[in-house]
Amino acid sequence: MSQALFFTHANGFPSATYSKLFGLLRPAYQIHYLEQHGHDPRFPVGDNWERLVDELIHHLQQLAEPVWGVGHSLGGVLHYHAALREPQLYRGLVLLDSPLLSRAECLMVQMAKRFDLMDRITPAGRTLGRRELFGDRSEARDYFAGKTLFRDFDPVCLDDYVEHALVETGSDLRLRFDPAVEVSIYRNAPHVAPGQPQQLKLPLALVRGRHSRVVMPRHARQAKRLAQGEYLTLAGGHMFPLERPQATVELLHSLLQRWDQRARQESP
């Protein structure tokens, strides 16, 4: 019987962008996800992403069993904070290039919020004024393919982004993920967590893209502070789940099968 896996996406990337990963993970896992975090008016974006974590917990509580939480960037941090609050909802966590900040970095974020500098230390400043409208999907694909962020995308993942990240509005196509929500998420990045890392007894793996500029080797210390924390690397940059979906899924299968086997051996 397949196990439940709840996937959470990176900021600005609707979950359907990861369709190739989902296809490779099935049928071993039942894949659950929200199409877009931060767009439910019941759970508006707020400081430290507390309401986004509320949103995730709300949906996890609807499921019949604990899940493997797998998240990319924003998504991994949401899972981590949700697990600190409600660990019984999880079997384990895999954070795909999700930053686990040190105390010094948290203080820096807190100061940046106080002095209105978040647009400088996060991608919020680059998101402001981003192009939102396109004539057709061919034009959009050419546009995104020329951007550094998308340069190394797997072709299928790029096609999925163009297909699912744009919605028809009259004669044009517009970004589905509200840019104002995306900017707000960046500006409200957490400077505190809802608990101490040492209290989390779940297995957790922080997987860094080898050339990432978001998660750095120094963040390994934060993962290793956990009782069952691991730090791994995979080829690629911050967007490696969409650059190397096959390698990402192979790593996920290996991790989750190992953790599941260990849990079975330890259970009475």
* 196 CB-side CA count, 13 A: 4
Q: Given a cut of 90, is residue 7 above it in pLDDT? A: yes
Q: Cα separation of 183 and 187, whole Å?
A: 6
Q: Cα separation of 200 and 228, whole Å?
A: 8
8 Å CB contact between 83 and 95: no
| Confidence band of 89 (pLDDT split at 50, 70, 90) | very high
Residue-level pLDDT at 267 = 79
| Confidence band of 38 (pLDDT split at 50, 70, 90) | very high
8 Å CB contact between 16 and 35: yes
Per DSSP, the residues of 174-216 read EESS-HHHHHHHHHT--SS-SS-GGG--SEEEEEEETT-SSS-
At how many degrees (to 10) do helices 74-85 and 50-60 cross? Answer: 70
| Confidence band of 127 (pLDDT split at 50, 70, 90) | confident
Residue-level pLDDT at 198 = 85
Nearest to 34 by CA among 16, 19, 21: 16
Q: Given a cut of 90, is residue 24 above it in pLDDT? A: yes
The identity of residue 11, as a single letter, is: N
Residue-level pLDDT at 126 = 86
| Confidence band of 172 (pLDDT split at 50, 70, 90) | very high
| Separation in Å, CA 266 to CA 29, 108, 121, 260, 262 | 22, 41, 44, 10, 6
**What average pLDDT does the segment 225-251 reach?**
97
Residue-level pLDDT at 2 = 87
- 89 by Cβ neighbours in 10 Å (0-12 / 13-18 / 19+) ranks as buried
Q: Which domains does the chain have, with CATH numbers?
A: 3-266 (3.40.50.1820)
| Separation in Å, CA 245 to CA 12, 93, 217 | 18, 18, 22
Task: Read off the pLDDT of residues 205-233 as tens digits, 9 standing for 90 and up.
Answer: 999 999 999 999 988 889 988 999 999 99
8 Å CB contact between 199 and 84: yes
Q: Cα separation of 72 and 61, whole Å?
A: 21
As a whole number, the mean pLDDT across the chain is: 95
Q: Given a cut of 80, is residue 1 above it in pLDDT? A: no
Residue-level pLDDT at 129 = 80
Q: Given a cut of 90, is residue 83 above it in pLDDT? A: yes
Q: Given a cut of 90, is residue 268 above it in pLDDT? A: no
pTM more than 0.85: yes
